[in-house]
Amino acid sequence: MRLDVQVSGRTVAQLYRERDEYVLKYLRDTDVADFVSLTMPVRDEAWRWPRDLHPFFRQNLPEGYLLNIIREEFGPLLDGTDLSLLAVVGGTGIGRVTVTPEGGKPGLEMAPLQIDSLLKADNTTEHFASLVRRYARASISGMVPKFIAPEEASDEALGPLGKPTLRTSRHIIKGSDDSTPYLGFNEFHSMRVLERLNVVPVARTRMSDDGRVLLVERFDVDEQGAPTHGLEDACGLLGLPPHEKYATTTEKVLNATRAYLPPAQVRVQLERFGWHVLTNYVVRNADCHAKNIALYYTGLGDVGFTPVYDIVTTQAYPRYANNPPGLSIDGRQTWAAGKALQRFFSAWLGISPRHCADMVERLCESAVEVGKEVIEAAKNEPCWRPVAKQMVHAWNEGMASLRDPKANVAVRGLDAAIAAAGFSDPEPAEQTCVTIGRSELLAPPRRKR
């Protein structure tokens, strides 16, 4: 089996298996700007990877729930290898690179999705599962239920003959499951803690009326949904398979990504990285792993970190509440990072302790304001109350663990707002060990030493 590899719709290489190696061979006269990956620039010699697909091609392969659906729907087309899976889903996905069977064209004809109707629907587990099944044939990674679909234009976007014009997929559509109820509500407000500060780019999101679904606006496409950017996550840049996304450290992730940053942009980009790290500690997001930190670019001259995405308060769910940060810092994998964070910020990011403390305080002040919004939203929708309660308690702990207890801060946290809302203490974390095979969201918690 040979696959054609396209960059922005232009076929530039072939991908195939040769004995027990996978081979990427660029076509003759391919422009150097049409590189498939930062790790595999255009050259005459083939790029070979032993036993498995090159890490770049594995970064967007479906995982978990979506992978199971694809196996059910397209089983006869799969031979058990990632190459056959890529042949099924590679024509539509994230980033400027597409992969199709030899001679095929990128893109798929799929029925358009009415986004506004989705946002107002009763998005039960069964309803969302039917949507995932309908739009399963796309290359998108992640363990939670999600899909991408072409959007049906609104009445304002009618074509010249009065017919609606169709756009390709401009959104990633994420759902909830039984272990992560109202995940859309959770992620929307967790992302907002950083977004409202307007200090770094953050992926734009919309939440469904029922709080179960989140629409994430893609930043790798233009207004018509045409791919404009290449995208590579740190997992692939490190040469790791997706299932090893937790098997690294923050320092290794930073080294792998920093190597491709233009020198003039390093300082700005490192501060963006710092905001991302601190936000995870404030909202208690234990699911920031090597696939949730990525670079994007239109060429070698503008490589930078993507807008921040996939921030969720994992501690809001008792099943995952004992999980530590997904990646260690300074050899420590604990929410009580102490001076380790300051050492990391100073030595690795060039950010002074004073500036780091200021960043922490701004995030904490934002968490207090967004926390009040979460509480108010839960008053209007009682079904959100359990997850809202868990979220604001988690944020309170996150703020307390980062703030200097000696600092004179006027607004200490969310204690008063939590009391006024009549929230009880947070539900206790489940003590059972969540293994990779059972988890829909996280790797297993590490043992404390």
Residue 12 lies in a domain: no
Residue 275 lies in a domain: yes
Residue 1 lies in a domain: no
pLDDT of residue 269: 98
Contacts (Cβ under 8 Å, ≥6 apart) of 261: 269, 295, 303, 304
Helix axes 64-74, 82-89, angle to 10 degrees: 80
Phi and psi, residue 172, nearest 5°: -100, 130
CA 68 to chain centre: 20
Tokens of 134: 């309908």
Tell me which residue range forms the domain holding 246. Answer: 234-421
pLDDT of residue 69: 84
Residue 307 lies in a domain: yes
Q: How far is CA 71 from CA 88, 289, 346, 356, 393, in A?
A: 10, 26, 47, 46, 40
Residue 100 lies in a domain: no
What residue ranges of the chain have pLDDT lower than 50?
154-167, 433, 435-449
Q: Would you say the C-alpha torsion 336, 340, 346, 352 has a positive or negative sign?
A: positive
Whole-number Å distance between alpha carbons of 244 and 417: 40
pLDDT of residue 167: 43
Residue 50 lies in a domain: no
Closest by Cα among 42, 48, 35, 167 to 96: 35
pTM for this prediction: 0.90
pLDDT digits (tens, 9 = 90+) for 323-357: 999 999 999 999 998 889 999 999 999 999 999 99
pLDDT of residue 375: 98
Count Cα atoms within 13 angstroms, Cβ side, for 390. 24
CATH number (domain holding residue 365): 1.10.1070
Residue 334 lies in a domain: yes
pLDDT of residue 153: 53
pLDDT of residue 409: 55
pLDDT of residue 411: 53
Domain count for the chain = 1
Cβ atoms of 118 and 208 within 8 Å: the answer is yes
Residue type for position 376 = E
Phi and psi, residue 163, nearest 5°: -95, 140
pLDDT digits (tens, 9 = 90+) for 287-321: 999 999 999 999 999 999 999 999 999 999 999 99
Residue 431 lies in a domain: no
pLDDT of residue 152: 67
pLDDT of residue 376: 97
Whole-number Å distance between alpha carbons of 304 and 55: 20
pLDDT of residue 441: 42
Closest by Cα among 269, 329, 277 to 295: 269
Let me know how long the chain is: 449
